[in-house]
């Protein structure tokens, strides 16, 4: 049976000087060594280090599945030179003609994909190998997709930003929260994936068990803030404002309904 491990925990937080959005990067060991999402450049070193810690070199990664094309999930693609890339046909098509105002799918993502060895365009329900299949989950982006893995612990859903975290699952109507494409599709997809997965590995949070209406994290939070900005004398002038609203508009101007 395939296994799934988190190489780099996803999270999303904001500072008064800009946001920090890091997607989760997960490794599936099955018939192939498969990465689901690869993160962006600020995480390149970390991902390589974490792979080394589990005995895998970047060139040994055989497959990369992109849950969607957003820059924070895809920009490390060139660092896995031998990997075949898998993504939904809808998402690939969109990268070739993205909306000019879509800040998460700039046109250079399409260029990057066209420079990779091979991009396999998937349809809803396709099997990648025994025990691993994809499920369409559009709404957050035009062709968002989940990877469902049958493991010894239950069905694991690597869901990308179709359900970015536990807080999104706890909403009265679970949804992607940040919608770049279609609000109604985003809600339908979140419902569908919660019906399908026993364990949810979200795009920007740590994994949790789906005991709806309860959602239990599998592990405690472990992120440490290193080297915060200091004054000349070493004093740290900073504050934490946990109640601040980090994102003013969750429905992005490129959403289909607003276009």
Nearer to Zn ion, 2 or 142 (CB): 142
Sheet with 33-36, side-by-side order of all strands: 3-8, 25-29, 33-36, 63-65, 84-88, 119-122
User: Which residue stretch of 36-44, 66-74, 146-154, 194-202 sits at the interface with Zn ion (rule: CB under 5 A)?
Assistant: 66-74
Nearer to Zn ion, 161 or 185 (CB): 161
Site for Zn ion in 113-142 (CB under 5 A): none
C-alpha distances out from residue 224 to 100, 228, 251, Å = 36, 11, 30
Number of residues that bind Zn ion (CB under 5 A): 2
Nearer to Zn ion, 14 or 33 (CB): 14
Q: According to the binding rule CB under 5 A, does residue 91 interact with Zn ion? A: no
Judge whether 28 and 2 are in contact, CB under 8 Å. Answer: yes
Please give the Cα distance from 139 to 136 (Å, whole number).
10
Nearer to Zn ion, 4 or 91 (CB): 91
Nearer to Zn ion, 30 or 168 (CB): 168
Please give the Cα distance from 117 to 253 (Å, whole number).
33
C-alpha distances out from residue 133 to 81, 157, 204, 223, Å = 23, 10, 21, 31
Candidates 63, 70, 177, 206: give the one binding Zn ion (CB under 5 A).
70
Nearest distance from residue 131's CB to Zn ion, in Å?
26
Nearest distance from residue 160's CB to Zn ion, in Å?
7
Nearest distance from residue 53's CB to Zn ion, in Å?
27
User: Which residue stretch of 62-70, 90-98, 125-133, 217-225 sits at the interface with Zn ion (rule: CB under 5 A)?
Assistant: 62-70
Site for Zn ion in 192-211 (CB under 5 A): none
User: Which residue stretch of 68-76, 77-85, 146-154, 167-175 sits at the interface with Zn ion (rule: CB under 5 A)?
Assistant: 68-76
Structural tokens at position 240: 């934490």
Count of beta carbons in the 10 Å neighbourhood of residue 191: 14
Please give the Cα distance from 256 to 109 (Å, whole number).
20
Nearest distance from residue 12's CB to Zn ion, in Å?
10
Judge whether 5 and 47 are in contact, CB under 8 Å. Answer: no
Please give the Cα distance from 100 to 223 (Å, whole number).
35
Nearer to Zn ion, 30 or 139 (CB): 139
Binding mask of the shown chain, residues 142 to 181, with x at each position contacting Zn ion by CB under 5 A: -------------------x--------------------
Nearer to Zn ion, 141 or 210 (CB): 141
Task: Count CA within 13 A, CB hemisphere, residue 135.
Answer: 24
- Name which of 54, 26, 22, 13 is nearest 201 in CA terms: 26
Residues lying near Zn ion in the complex (CB under 5 A): 70, 161
């Amino acid at each position: 049976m395939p296994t799934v491990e988190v190489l780099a925990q996803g999270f999303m937080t904001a500072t008064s000087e800009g946001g920090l959005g890091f997607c989760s990067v997960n490794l599936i060991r099955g018939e192939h060594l498969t990465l689901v999402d690869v993160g962006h450049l600020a995480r390149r070193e970390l991902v390589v280090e974490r792979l080394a810690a589990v005995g895998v070199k970047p060139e040994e990664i055989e497959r990369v599945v992109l849950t969607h094309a957003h820059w924070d999930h895809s920009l490390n693609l060139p660092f896995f030179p031998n990997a075949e890339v898998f993504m939904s046909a809808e998402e690939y098509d969109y990268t070739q003609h993205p909306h000019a105002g879509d800040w998460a799918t700039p046109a250079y993502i399409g260029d990057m994909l066209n420079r990779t060895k091979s991009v396999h365009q998937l349809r809803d329900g396709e099997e990648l190998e025994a025990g691993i299949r994809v499920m369409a989950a559009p709404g957050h982006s035009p062709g968002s997709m989940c990877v469902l893995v049958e493991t010894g612990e239950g069905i694991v859903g690597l869901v990308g930003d179709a359900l970015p975290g536990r807080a999104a699952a706890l909403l009265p109507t679970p949804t992607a929260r940040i919608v770049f494409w279609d609000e109604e599709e985003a809600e339908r997809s979140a419902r569908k994936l919660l019906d399908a997965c026993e364990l949810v590995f979200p795009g920007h949070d740590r994994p949790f068990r789906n005991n709806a209406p309860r959602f239990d994290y599998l592990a405690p939070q472990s992120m440490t803030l290193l080297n915060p900005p200091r004054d000349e004398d070493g004093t740290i002038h900073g504050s934490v404002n946990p109640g601040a609203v980090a994102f003013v508009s969750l429905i992005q101007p490129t959403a289909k309904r607003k276009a």
